[in-house]
């Protein structure tokens, strides 16, 4: 483990930026957002960013390829340009866990080379939480906010910042910081972790459990009568899916530029009426069916296909952003009939 003084964090950022693009969460008018670091930029102390860091690997829109037509000949052009290494600093434990969920979607055969390319070039530096809030429930899914994963784990105290490498990428990054950091023991880190875990125990959702959900529960929950009332007020706006760090649905479209065609993909939402529109139409014709699909996927379908891993990390973004305050917690309590 290594450490540096808190006021040396700018020097850490500057050293990282010498060899890699660096992104940190910083305060904006819209809340904390990840921005490319520049000299003088201050790291946000907000618990979490408005949008999750999945944007770095699965952006909201991205060009896939371009087609040039010349008579009967069609040229296919690979438009990818991401070749530089980059570091994402300040990722919370819940968001780090979301990368594992996305990896199981995009890195399985056939591998999504666009996503894989970004993952290969990235280094994730996580930061432990010290002030979790009422919307947090990461512990429901076995995530420890005080011990985030990632290539490098980081803990910030009032006077010092601690770093621990977890992967070869993390070791390579800390090697670059040897002139700024010094060896450290984990005494202060352990004390901070204990405080954070005590706070987590006192939060409103501390007792929320996912034990009633998981693989093999489709028949038990699919026809539950509670879906009618739960979905009745849903606007189908898709806000929950757009702030969610684990949602991975997308659409692929072609755009005629007038001198060729660009094929791109963009985020989509299972909450939309035109989602997965096929030749015969949308297989889920009602908002109830679309609403049910979202939460059954998080709590039943995904764990059924991924060794019991849930497709929710308890980040709380959907609790904070849903305009009608309908979220996965209410679904779990109602469908699972828990307090």
pLDDT for 269-280, tens place per residue?
Answer: 988 888 876 666
- The reported pTM is 0.92
Ranking 149-158, 198-207, 236-245, 251-260 by mean pLDDT, the lowest is 251-260
What phi and psi values does residue 199 have, to the nearest 5 degrees?
A: -65, -45
Q: Which two tokens stand for residue 100?
A: 């594992």
Q: How far is CA 287 from the centre of its chain?
A: 25
Task: Report the chain's C-alpha Rg in angstroms.
Answer: 22
Judge contact between 140 and 209, C-beta under 8 A: yes
Residue 236: closest CA among 126, 322, 316, 307: 322
- Which ranges in the chain belong to alpha helices (H)? 9-17, 93-106, 113-121, 168-176, 187-202, 218-222, 226-232, 239-243, 287-296, 302-305, 317-321, 328-335
* Rounded Cα–Cα distance for residues 114 and 134 (Å): 36
Q: What per-residue confidence (pLDDT) applies to 339?
A: 43
Does 114 score more than 90 pLDDT? yes
Q: Give rounded-to-5 percent helix, strand, coil for the chain.
A: 35, 20, 45
- Average pLDDT for the chain: 93
* 281-335 confidence digits (pLDDT tens): 667 889 999 999 999 999 999 999 999 999 999 999 999 999 999 999 999 999 9
Per-residue pLDDT averaged across 66-92, rounded?
88
Q: Which of 103, 79, 100 is nearest to 265 (CA)?
A: 79
Q: Let me know how long the chain is.
A: 339
Task: Identify the bridge partners of residue 65 per DSSP, sorted by sequence position.
Answer: 78, 263
* Per-residue CA distances from 169 to 86, 108, 152, 175 (Å): 11, 22, 8, 10
Q: Quick one: what percent of the chain has pLDDT higher than 90?
A: 85
Q: Which two tokens stand for residue 278?
A: 């096929």
Calpha distance 154→36 (Å, rounded) = 19
Q: Tally DSSP H helices, then E strands, for the chain.
A: 12, 12
Structural contact between residues 294 and 272, judged by C-beta atoms closer than 8 angstroms: no
CB 1 within 8 A of CB 184: yes
């Amino acid at each position: 483990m290594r450490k540096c003084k808190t006021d040396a964090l700018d020097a850490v950022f500057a050293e990282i930026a010498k060899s890699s693009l660096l992104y940190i969460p910083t305060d904006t008018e819209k809340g904390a957002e990840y921005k490319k670091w520049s000299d003088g930029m201050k790291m946000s102390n907000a618990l979490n960013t408005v949008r999750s860091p999945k944007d770095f690997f699965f952006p909201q829109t991205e060009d896939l390829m371009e087609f040039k037509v010349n008579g009967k000949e069609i040229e296919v052009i690979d438009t990818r340009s991401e070749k530089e290494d980059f570091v994402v600093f300040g990722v919370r434990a819940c968001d780090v866990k979301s990368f594992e969920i996305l990896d199981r979607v995009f890195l399985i055969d056939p591998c999504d080379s666009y996503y894989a390319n970004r993952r290969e070039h990235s280094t994730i530096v996580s930061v432990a939480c010290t002030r979790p809030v009422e919307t947090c429930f990461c512990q429901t899914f076995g995530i420890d906010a005080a011990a985030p994963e990632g290539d490098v784990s980081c803990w910030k105290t009032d006077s010092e910042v601690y770093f621990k490498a977890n992967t070869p990428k993390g070791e390579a990054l800390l090697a670059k910081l040897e002139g700024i950091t010094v060896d450290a023991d984990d005494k202060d880190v352990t004390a901070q972790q204990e405080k954070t875990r005590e706070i987590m125990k006192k939060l409103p959702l501390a007792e929320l459990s996912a034990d009633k959900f998981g693989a093999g529960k489709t028949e038990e929950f699919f026809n539950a009568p509670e879906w009618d009332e739960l979905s009745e007020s849903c606007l189908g706006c898709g806000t929950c899916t757009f702030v969610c760090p684990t949602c991975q649905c997308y659409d692929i479209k072609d755009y005629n530029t007038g001198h060729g065609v660009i094929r791109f993909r963009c985020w989509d939402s299972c909450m939309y009426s035109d989602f997965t529109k096929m030749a015969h139409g949308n297989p889920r014709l009602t908002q109830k069916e679309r609403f049910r699909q979202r939460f059954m996927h998080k709590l039943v379908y995904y764990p059924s296909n991924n060794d019991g891993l849930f497709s929710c990390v308890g980040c709380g973004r959907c609790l904070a952003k849903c305009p009608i305050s309908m979220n996965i917690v209410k679904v779990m309590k109602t469908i699972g009939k828990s307090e």
